[in-house]
Amino acid sequence: MYRTHTCGELNLANAGKEVTLSGWVQKTRALGGMTFVDLRDRYGITQLVFNNDADVALCDRANKLGREFVIQVKGKVTERTSKNLNIPTGEIEITVNELNVISESETPPFLIENDSDGNEELRLKYRYLDIRRPQLRDRLIMRAHIIRAVREYMDGKEFIEIETPNLVKSTPEGARDFLVPSRLQHGSFYALPQSPQILKQLLMVAGMDRYYQVARCFRDEDFRGDRQPEFSQIDCEMSFVHQEDIFETFSGMISHVFKKVKHYDLGELPRLKYHDALKLYGSDKPDLRFDCKIVELNEVLPASEFGVFNTAIANGGLVAGLNAKGCATYTRKQLDELTEFVKVTHRGLGGLVNIRFNEDGTVKSSVDKFYNEEQLRQIGKVFDAQKGDLLLIGSDKISKVRKSLGDLRLELAKKNNWIDPKAWSVLWIVDFPLFEKDEESGEITFAHHPFCSPHLDDMQYFDSDPTRVRAQTYDMVINGNEILSGSIRIHQRDIQARVFGKLGITPEDQESKFGFMLNAFRYGAPPHGGCAFGVDRLVMLLSGGETIRDVMAFPKTAGGRDLMMDAPTVVDKKQLDELGISVKA
Amino acid sequence: MYRTHTCGELNLANAGKEVTLSGWVQKTRALGGMTFVDLRDRYGITQLVFNNDADVALCDRANKLGREFVIQVKGKVTERTSKNLNIPTGEIEITVNELNVISESETPPFLIENDSDGNEELRLKYRYLDIRRPQLRDRLIMRAHIIRAVREYMDGKEFIEIETPNLVKSTPEGARDFLVPSRLQHGSFYALPQSPQILKQLLMVAGMDRYYQVARCFRDEDFRGDRQPEFSQIDCEMSFVHQEDIFETFSGMISHVFKKVKHYDLGELPRLKYHDALKLYGSDKPDLRFDCKIVELNEVLPASEFGVFNTAIANGGLVAGLNAKGCATYTRKQLDELTEFVKVTHRGLGGLVNIRFNEDGTVKSSVDKFYNEEQLRQIGKVFDAQKGDLLLIGSDKISKVRKSLGDLRLELAKKNNWIDPKAWSVLWIVDFPLFEKDEESGEITFAHHPFCSPHLDDMQYFDSDPTRVRAQTYDMVINGNEILSGSIRIHQRDIQARVFGKLGITPEDQESKFGFMLNAFRYGAPPHGGCAFGVDRLVMLLSGGETIRDVMAFPKTAGGRDLMMDAPTVVDKKQLDELGISVKA
């Protein structure tokens, strides 16, 4: 037997017991005729002690142990003289009488501690060493606990876990498919699923009533930001439900997870309409851990010659701002930084007007030329500005102003530590539009995906004013991250065909890409809806990770490479020949 | 709200209650002024009744309902006059006062009942209708329950569920890889994993101690028999263990599953050595639900001029047979069928000698010319032959005789109903060889996979007599099916390199294919071992399915096609261009 106990479980209650432990050498130190070794495994660290007086040879061998050696020891549990009450095993140590080295270790390429000296590339290459760091190890364990809590809840609600295939049909749903050449049918390809969307809907047509799966999804996108080519989602679908049933079920689920994993009571989840979210927070995934709403000024601006604002309003644009509480003392440099922040390409505002309500009662502004003090105070009232506050105001097209101020709001919160790190903001965003119009091309595209059911009340605008049609679509947002997305689905063949048509999918393409789904609706489709939780992001938030790579065992780089395995790689020509494909020169 | 209850939960305790139900019309029948509708959902069937006297119009509409219409009804729970005690809802019916048709249905292409008139191809095409059949639906539900029981057990034993990637490196492990072309690195390919074998071993090196996953595996093989291109395995690995720890852990797991899902107590699992399994049952996955062992005769055959037996023995072959209890009355035709059975190509015996111990006390044989009655009775004693028994004896190369008699044993059991359908045979096969020698080429190949640890006692034969080296490898066999396979792994870099070398893998290939694994063993690898359960086959056995297609939601055909989605398909040239590949003419 390699061990009688793990390195995390012995304590004073075991004193006097003869035990066998196995694990990794975290560190050794010789001290006045004694050698101490911290022995580590997944469960914790136990201190070993070797006494020079008792056994010189054994103590000598202990002194030669290197970091990360795998050893087995036998000895007696003894009360420590100097206790470490920070760890569960800190009141005891093992007085060792037998030592076996199971595997030696070369010097690891980086320090195996939370504050490692290895950069991420090196740590990805040696991921099996990186995972030994307590932080990453504990995040992977928390991931398992979160998924277990989800399953517990779903199983209790009569959801059935069903595995759907990973070799499916290429049906562009928005992102690019990974393809898998077929050997038995040269020239044909499977696709890896972007999500089990259609299959879970067919499971509802099949009468399975309540389905879930921790589903692997694949998207061959450029891995901008924090994306991975494959990721996991908690994929759910239920029949005979309205939106309210979904809100109840999945509010319950997230509350269960928070209770189980964070011992935190979420309470009732607020709901915010999509348009209100944009209007108030400039984002459809607002972080409500702090206030600082956007204030719109079009209707309340005092008359002035200030052309920037007047032009924006005349062109159907928006003048709006934020009240940066307590920031009136910002220096010129700080104000310039904020201006630069909203001017970068993807925000694209022309600049920011600032109005400072100083502690001494004066009001100063970057547009003193155009607004007198009374007018500035009038604007201040709209923001409920107090002494010490700073107003930041922008103007341009509506979407650009909202986006910029939404981002600025987050930036201000970060700079000013407005966010309580222990607070949680979990809410539903509802009433998304069914369609969006591309600002450049004017083309109609879907806002979520083409299977979302319109609000039946809005079908009257379907042809006349399609972007006015609301969808029965909802997101769950946690601390400003979209964690869940879902909808009531279309279960009527005619409505599905109309939506496809509006998206410019020809009847021929509808038949070849989605024929099997439209066909299924001929045979008694139940009303149904569902959602998908992004596992990686959820775990990242709950475990305090900074990227989703921090919560995946073997993630890929931004370039889609696995540095540990060294994948992708070139393959034998024979393999390609068998598949009937060739690589272009 | 679409429903207050499901179709499986109402009973006499609910009598008098006003309820709302939704579901599918299983069938309708008009009977003396009443119309009865069986309303079905995943949970059961509830009888609806429409009374012509009470509401002619409503009753008329009920009469027009077609099979598989989705409807919603409101009404009162009423005690039935003629009860059906075979179903939980059989004592009540719903007296309907409101009927809403939610979705109509065209006539389904086959009967949605357990005994369907649709062939498998048709049912695969309309899988969403096939799953409505109670048998398939219940198997999918049992699948979820089995996996849930597995997780319950594993979670309770401190195993951590970890998801490993599906886009990995092509490292031929025996089967052919599915490849995924990389768009960001033209000419390079990911592979879909044949199993997470190496990754789970690296998780042990990473110190995760106990890992499991319901892992999707992919093998691009020709789908002979009951194979699928993708399948699921319960993949497990543990550190600091010997074989005994594995046996204990996974005997416990399978017992837990049987108890939870079948309410069946497996008791202690027997173990059989690989060589004994071959010798006694002609198979390394013997079905022990019946006895009928192979009896070897080389040492006990009476002297005779019978050349067939004599030659076999002289050539180092085997003479062995079975006692087909109670089959002495087999007709000439039946005996000929058995002879043909062992003569087919993949068995290839020359024929079968039979000896009949008739009820009247006489002994007859197909080799009366060569053996006198006393000699036949002497042979009979070795088989413990009684009146009414039939001995069937063959001779040839050892492997051929064992294989043929092993198959014959199963065939006899089938023909004679020797197997109690309620019995279970669950056992461990142990002490597999590490290597096998190809009978044709004489090449050494691995018996399981190249990561299995040899019995260290047998390392003395590693170079001199490699096929004599036993591996620390084990299978679990249920009713004659291999359900689990596993081993203690090699964790020593030098032994792993020796095994690779013996398999003819050059040092260069070791480095390019497995370098990351050999490297990992430099940094303190713990002893470890594990196994993988075939989910599909396990569920098939427990649910009474005949093929693994019977326990998968969306299986593929023998040609690897998904008939419902119509995959694989040709894709746009643009997609191939992006991937930098082309299809060969």
Q: DSSP letters along B282-333, please? A: SSSS--TTS----EE-TTTPPP---HHHHHHHHTT-EEEEEEETT-TT--HH
Q: Indicate yes or no: CB of A164 within 8 angstroms of CB of B192.
A: no
Q: Which residues contact residue B366 at a Cβ distance below 8 angstroms, ignoring those fewer than 6 apart?
A: B352, B353, B354, B355
In a domain, residue A407? The reply is: yes
Q: A192: domain CATH number?
A: 3.30.930.10
In a domain, residue A395? The reply is: yes
Give the confidence band of B172 by pLDDT, cuts at 50, 70, 90: low
Show residues of chain B in contact with A191, CB under 8 Å: 567, 571
Residue A385: both structure tokens together: 């500005």
CA distances from B572 to A445, A500, B138, B220, B335 (A): 21, 20, 40, 23, 59
Q: Indicate yes or no: CB of B207 within 8 angstroms of CB of A525.
A: no
In a domain, residue A112? The reply is: no
Structure confidence at residue A240 (pLDDT): 98
The whole-angstrom separation of Cα B521 and Cα A105 is: 8
Same domain, B268 and B146: yes
Structure confidence at residue A173 (pLDDT): 57
Q: Is A569 on the interface with B (CB under 8 A)?
A: yes
CA distances from B276 to A30, B32, B284, B295, B427 (A): 54, 69, 9, 12, 13
A with B: how many residue pairs have Cβ under 8 Å apart?
Answer: 337
Q: Is the pLDDT of residue A158 over 60?
A: yes
Does the CA dihedral B105-B111-B117-B121 come out positive or negative? positive
Structure confidence at residue B585 (pLDDT): 75
The residue behind tokens 């050696």 is A69
Amino acid at B548: I
Show residues of chain A in contact with B179, CB under 8 Å: 180-181, 571, 575, 579
Structure confidence at residue B445 (pLDDT): 83
Q: How many CB atoms lie within 10 A of CB A22?
A: 23
Does the CA dihedral A116-A120-A121-A125 come out positive or negative? positive
Q: Are the CB atoms for B190 and A190 separated by under 8 Å? A: no
CA distance B347 to chain A (A): 29
Of B226, B167, B220, B229, nearest to B193 by C-alpha is: B167
Same domain, B245 and B370: no
CA atoms within 13 A of residue A96's CA, in its CB half-sphere: 29
In this predicted model, what pLDDT tens digit does every residue of A440-495 receive, in sequence order?
788 888 888 889 999 989 999 999 999 999 999 999 999 999 999 999 999 999 99
Q: Which of B55, B83, B103 is the last residue of a domain?
A: B103
Same domain, B365 and B471: no
Show residues of chain B in contact with A570, CB under 8 Å: 187-189
Q: B398: domain CATH number?
A: 3.30.1360.30
> Nearest Cβ partner of B571 from A167, A189, A556?
A189
Same domain, B406 and B458: no
Nearest residue on chain B to A231, alpha-carbon basis: B165
In a domain, residue B2? The reply is: no
In a domain, residue A55? The reply is: yes
In this predicted model, what pLDDT tens digit does every residue of B191-209 receive, in sequence order?
999 999 999 999 999 999 9
Show residues of chain B in contact with A510, CB under 8 Å: none
Of A47, A61, A60, nearest to A91 by C-alpha is: A47
Burial code (b: 16+ CB inside 10 Å, e: under 16) for B472-502 equals: bbbbbbbbbeebbbbbbbbbebebbbbbbeb
Q: Are the CB atoms for B3 and B72 separated by under 8 Å? A: yes
In this predicted model, what pLDDT tens digit does every residue of A527-543 receive, in sequence order?
999 999 999 999 999 99
In this predicted model, what pLDDT tens digit does every residue of B546-564 receive, in sequence order?
999 999 999 999 899 999 9
Range of the domain at A181: 137-272+427-551
Residues β-bridged to residue B484: B476, B533
Give the confidence band of A63 by pLDDT, cuts at 50, 70, 90: very high
CA distance A294 to chain B (A): 37
In a domain, residue A113? The reply is: no
Give the confidence band of B223 by pLDDT, cuts at 50, 70, 90: low
Same domain, B216 and B94: no
Same domain, A371 and A407: yes
Where does residue A41 fall: left (phi above 0), alpha (psi -120 to 50 degrees), or beta otherwise?
Answer: beta
Residues of chain B numbered 545-564 and touching chain A (CB < 8 Å): 552-554, 556, 559-562, 564
**What is the residue-wise DSSP string for A237-264?**
EEES--HHHHHHHHHHHHHHHIIIII--
Show residues of chain A in contact with B233, CB under 8 Å: none
Q: Is A68 on the interface with B (CB under 8 A)?
A: yes
Q: Which of A103, A125, A155 is the last residue of a domain?
A: A103
Residue A328: both structure tokens together: 């009136």
Q: Is B132 on the interface with A (CB under 8 A)?
A: yes
Best of A127, A217, A565, A584 to substitute, by most chain B Cβ atoms within 10 angstroms, is A565
Residues of chain B numbered 523-542 and touching chain A (CB < 8 Å): 523-527
Average pLDDT, chain A: 95
Q: Is B24 on the interface with A (CB under 8 A)?
A: yes
Show residues of chain A in contact with B583, CB under 8 Å: 186-187, 580-581
Cis peptide upstream of residue A229 (ω within 30 degrees of 0) = no
Structure confidence at residue B146 (pLDDT): 98
Of B68, B83, B75, nearest to B48 by C-alpha is: B75
Q: Are the CB atoms for A348 and A401 separated by under 8 Å? A: no
Same domain, B146 and B268: yes
In this predicted model, what pLDDT tens digit does every residue of A216-264 receive, in sequence order?
999 998 866 788 999 999 999 999 999 999 999 999 999 999 999 999 9
Structure confidence at residue A223 (pLDDT): 63
The residue behind tokens 């690296």 is B202
Q: Are the CB atoms for A25 and A68 separated by under 8 Å? A: yes
Q: Are the CB atoms for A538 and A479 separated by under 8 Å? A: no
Structure confidence at residue A512 (pLDDT): 86
Show residues of chain A in contact with B207, CB under 8 Å: 24, 40-42, 131-132, 137
In a domain, residue A158? The reply is: yes
Residues of chain A numbered 253-292 and touching chain B (CB < 8 Å): none
Does the CA dihedral A154-A157-A163-A165 come out positive or negative? negative
Same domain, A186 and A249: yes
Show residues of chain B in contact with A241, CB under 8 Å: 2
CA distance B262 to chain A (A): 18
The whole-angstrom separation of Cα A140 and Cα A133 is: 11
Using DSSP, state whether A567 is helix, strand or coil.
strand
- φ, ψ (nearest 5 deg) of residue B256: -60, -45
Residue A104: DSSP 8-state: -
Q: Is A224 on the interface with B (CB under 8 A)?
A: no
Q: Are the CB atoms for A197 and A173 separated by under 8 Å? A: yes
Same domain, A169 and A259: yes
- φ, ψ (nearest 5 deg) of residue B249: -65, -45
Helix (H) or strand (E) holding A332: helix A332-343
Structure confidence at residue A433 (pLDDT): 94
CA angle B343/B345/B348 to nearest 5° reads: 45
Q: Is B157 on the interface with A (CB under 8 A)?
A: no
Show residues of chain A in contact with B571, CB under 8 Å: 170, 179, 189, 191
In a domain, residue B129? The reply is: no
Where does residue B203 fall: left (phi above 0), alpha (psi -120 to 50 degrees), or beta otherwise?
Answer: alpha
Using DSSP, state whether B175 is helix, strand or coil.
coil
The whole-angstrom separation of Cα A452 and Cα A473 is: 7
Count of domains observed in chain B: 3
CA distance A468 to chain B (A): 26
> Nearest Cβ partner of B22 from A170, A184, A240?
A240
Q: Indicate yes or no: CB of B144 within 8 angstroms of CB of A160.
A: yes
Q: Is B441 on the interface with A (CB under 8 A)?
A: no
Nearest residue on chain B to A245, alpha-carbon basis: B1
The whole-angstrom separation of Cα A139 and Cα A270 is: 28
In this predicted model, what pLDDT tens digit does every residue of B536-546 receive, in sequence order?
999 999 999 99
Cα radius of gyration rounded to whole Å, chain A: 30
Best of A1, A21, A569 to substitute, by most chain B Cβ atoms within 10 angstroms, is A569
Q: Is A579 on the interface with B (CB under 8 A)?
A: yes
CA distance A357 to chain B (A): 53
Q: What is the mean pLDDT of residues B463-476?
A: 94
Q: Indicate yes or no: CB of B188 within 8 angstroms of CB of A553.
A: no
Amino acid at B259: K
- Select the more confidently predicted residue: A442 or B303: B303
Give the confidence band of B149 by pLDDT, cuts at 50, 70, 90: very high
Residue B460: both structure tokens together: 């003395």
- Select the more confidently predicted residue: A117 or B96: B96
Nearest residue on chain B to A107, alpha-carbon basis: B523
Residue B473: both structure tokens together: 């490898």
Average pLDDT, chain B: 95
Q: What is the mean pLDDT of residues A123-148?
A: 97
Residue A50: both structure tokens together: 């070797």
The whole-angstrom separation of Cα A32 and Cα A109 is: 31
Show residues of chain A in contact with B191, CB under 8 Å: 567, 571
Burial code (b: 16+ CB inside 10 Å, e: under 16) for A179-213 equals: bbbbbbbebbbbbbbbbbbbbbbbbbbbbbbbbbb
Structure confidence at residue A503 (pLDDT): 87
Q: Is B232 on the interface with A (CB under 8 A)?
A: yes
pLDDT over 90 percentage in chain B: 89
Same domain, A22 and A92: yes
Q: What is the mean pLDDT of residues A348-369?
A: 95
The whole-angstrom separation of Cα B394 and Cα B377 is: 18
In this predicted model, what pLDDT tens digit does every residue of B24-81 receive, in sequence order?
999 999 998 899 999 999 999 999 999 999 999 999 999 999 999 999 999 999 999 9
Same domain, A350 and A380: yes
> Nearest Cβ partner of B131 from A207, A521, A580?
A207
Best of A113, A128, A161, A210 to substitute, by most chain B Cβ atoms within 10 angstroms, is A128
Q: Is B5 on the interface with A (CB under 8 A)?
A: no
Residue A567: both structure tokens together: 């994948």
Does the CA dihedral A278-A280-A282-A284 come out positive or negative? negative
Same domain, B331 and B356: yes
Q: A82: domain CATH number?
A: 2.40.50.140
Best of B127, B190, B220, B573 to substitute, by most chain A Cβ atoms within 10 angstroms, is B190
Secondary structure E strands in A325-457: 353-357, 363-365, 390-396, 426-430, 435-437, 444-446
Q: Are the CB atoms for B182 and A175 separated by under 8 Å? A: no
Nearest residue on chain A to B527, alpha-carbon basis: A102
Nearest residue on chain A to B564, alpha-carbon basis: A516
Q: Are the CB atoms for B2 and B22 separated by under 8 Å? A: yes
In this predicted model, what pLDDT tens digit does every residue of B100-136 receive, in sequence order?
999 999 999 999 998 888 999 999 999 999 999 999 9
Residues of chain B numbered 341-360 and touching chain A (CB < 8 Å): none
Show residues of chain A in contact with B192, CB under 8 Å: 166, 180
Q: Is the pLDDT of residue B173 over 60?
A: no
Q: Which of B418, B451, B466 is the last residue of a domain?
A: B418
Q: Is the pLDDT of residue B216 over 80?
A: yes
Best of A180, A236, A517, A572 to substitute, by most chain B Cβ atoms within 10 angstroms, is A180
Q: Indicate yes or no: CB of A554 within 8 angstroms of CB of B165.
A: yes
The whole-angstrom separation of Cα A193 and Cα A209 is: 22
